[in-house]
Amino acid sequence: MPDLCLTDINKYYGDVHAVKNVSLEVPSGEFVVLVGPSGCGKSTLLRSIAGLEDISDGDIKLGQRSIAGLAPRDRNIAMVFQSYALYPYLSVYENIAFGLRARKTPQAEIDRQVAWASDVLDIGDYLKRFPRELSGGQRQRVAIGRAIVRDADLFLFDEPLSNLDAKLRDGMREEIKRLHEKLGKTFIYVTHDQIEAMTLAQRIILLRDGEIEQAGAPLDLFERPNNTYVAGFLGSPTMNFVEVTVKDGSMVLPDGQALSVNGAIRDGAYTWGVRPEHFSQSDEGGQGLRAKLEVIQPTGSRSYGTFHLAGVHLIAELGAHVGEQDRREVTLSVALERTVFFDKASGKAVG
């Protein structure tokens, strides 16, 4: 199975520079997720790989051959669309068989492949039905079935779960992950949902305004973000950002409270990034920051408390049973070594 190699991809829509010098190497079999907000260029990039969009500049190589100028049908790729794009006038069987028929595969072979795909996705019962008779989740499976039934080199997914409701999405995420393990093919998956990115990817490519902000394993991006943008994008609830100054080995917050940083950070002005789970409620009088608990949002297994601290609202993760009686000034201890410091001017991570 070939590796995918994108070199200096540029795409212009008129004057708009939608994709800026993107280079990417995807080894065969990897599950890569392109993630970012609307307009970041992820769909454009995916469609360029598919051949549904032309690139203005750069090269796309699958293994040894360059596929940049080829029509979609010649690239040996498969794609799953956001709105499934099933053929409404064909049965489920015919939908899945469509690509095989187009390549003039013999009927016996078609039967075999469709049976295999419907087995993997558990849609054997619907083969004779039509798309309009199926639910959203079932249609999505048929769309995936249509993709996997061809022995493609590359599998592209364009926000496939966006049109499903939350519960269904959770289930499908797991199925897609299993599917990848089973097939062992290269998956390129586009989404705007950071949870999908975190849970599915072997490698996340986070895009902004047509450029790669950071690429790497999910936990890498999560624990060691390159800048405030990456840090703020991943994780829910989002990371807290506080303006601080470091002086003489101490980190000073806007309200004067200070914590010792032991010289790990040079003096200067920084944006301090601390995630809700980096906080914990300290015993009375312990080392930490004083803050007033204002709002409590229990989720069952834990609670998220909104604190007023140094003129900023912070969210911290608390125990499940925090209640009204705790709405007062408390002491929060911080796992400083897990927090991240960003240069105040550039937003880039330091240290």
Partner 1 sequence: MSSAISKTIDSERVFKYLLIAPAVFVILLIGLYPLIKLIVTSFQNISMFDNDLSYQGFINYERLLDDDRLWKSLLHTIIFTAIALPIELVLGYLLALLFLEKLPFKQTLVAIILLPTIISPIVAGSIWRLMLDQRFGPINQIIAWFAGGDVRLLWTVETALVWPAILIAEVWQWTPFMFLLLLAALSNVDKEQLEAAQIDGASWWMTFRRIVLPAIMPVMFIAVLIRALDLFRVFDVIWTMTQGGPGTFTETISIYAYQMAFREFEISYSSAIAFLVIFLLTVTVVWALRRVEVSR
Partner 2 sequence: MIRWDRGWRLTLRVACALMVTIVFLFPVYWLAAISIKTPNEIYSYPPVWLPAQVNLSSYMTLFRDGDAWSVWHSLVTAGVSTVFAMFIGTIAAYSIVRFRTGGDHLAIWIISQRMIPPICVAFPIFLLYVSWQIVDTYVGLILLYTAFNVPYVTWMMRGYIQEIPLELEQSAMVDGLTRWSVLWKVVMPMARAGLFATAVFTFIFAWNDFLFALILTKSEVVTYTVKVTGYFGSQSTFWSKIGAMSMLGVLPMILVVGTMQRFIVRGISLGAVKG
Does 321 engage in binding with partner 1 (CB under 8 A)? no
Tokens of 191: 């989404």
Q: Does 154 bind partner 1 (CB under 8 A)?
A: no
DSSP 151-192: --SEEEEESTTTTS-HHHHHHHHHHHHHHHHHH--EEEEEES
Among the listed residues 8, 13, 25, 54, the single contact to partner 2 using CB under 8 A: 54
Instruction: Indicate whether 231 belongs to the interface with partner 1 (CB under 8 A).
Output: no
Cβ closest to partner 1, residue 150 vs residue 208: 150
How far is it, in rounded angstroms, from Cα 266 to Cα 214? 24
Per-residue interface string for the shown chain with partner 2, residues 68-97, x marking contact by CB under 8 A = ---xx-------------------------
- Residue 86: contacted member of partner 1, partner 2, none (CB under 5 to 8 Å, by partner type): partner 1
Single-letter code of the amino acid located at 226: N
Q: Is 70 in the site for partner 1 (CB under 8 A)?
A: no
Best CA proximity match to 49, nearest among 184, 196, 157, 204: 157
Q: Does 102 bind partner 1 (CB under 8 A)?
A: yes
Q: Which does 322 bind (CB under 5 to 8 A by kind): partner 2, partner 1, none?
A: none
Contacts of 328 (CB under 8 A, 6+ apart): 292, 293
Report CA-CA distances (Å) from 219 to 223, 279, 308: 6, 19, 29
Among 14, 16, 103, 299, binds partner 1 (CB under 8 A): 103
Q: Cβ(33)–Cβ(193) under 8 Å?
A: no
Query: What is the torsion angle, in degrees rounded to the nearest 10, for the CA atoms of residue 83, residue 27, residue 200 and residue 197?
Result: -70
**Contacting partner 1 (CB under 8 A), which of 37, 65, 89, 286?**
89
Nearest to partner 1 of 101, 266 (CB atom) = 101
Q: How far is the CB of 69 from partner 2 (least distance, A)?
A: 10
Residues 32-61: x/- map of binding to partner 1 (CB under 8 A)? ------------------xxx---------
Q: Kindly list the distances between the CA atom of residue 316 and the CA atoms of 160, 239, 296, in Å, as whole numbers in the listed order.
A: 33, 10, 10
CB 9 to partner 1: min, Å? 19
7: how many CB neighbours lie within 10 A of its CB? 16
Q: Which residues here bind partner 1, judged by CB under 8 A?
A: 50-52, 71-73, 77-79, 81-83, 85-90, 98-99, 101-103, 146, 150
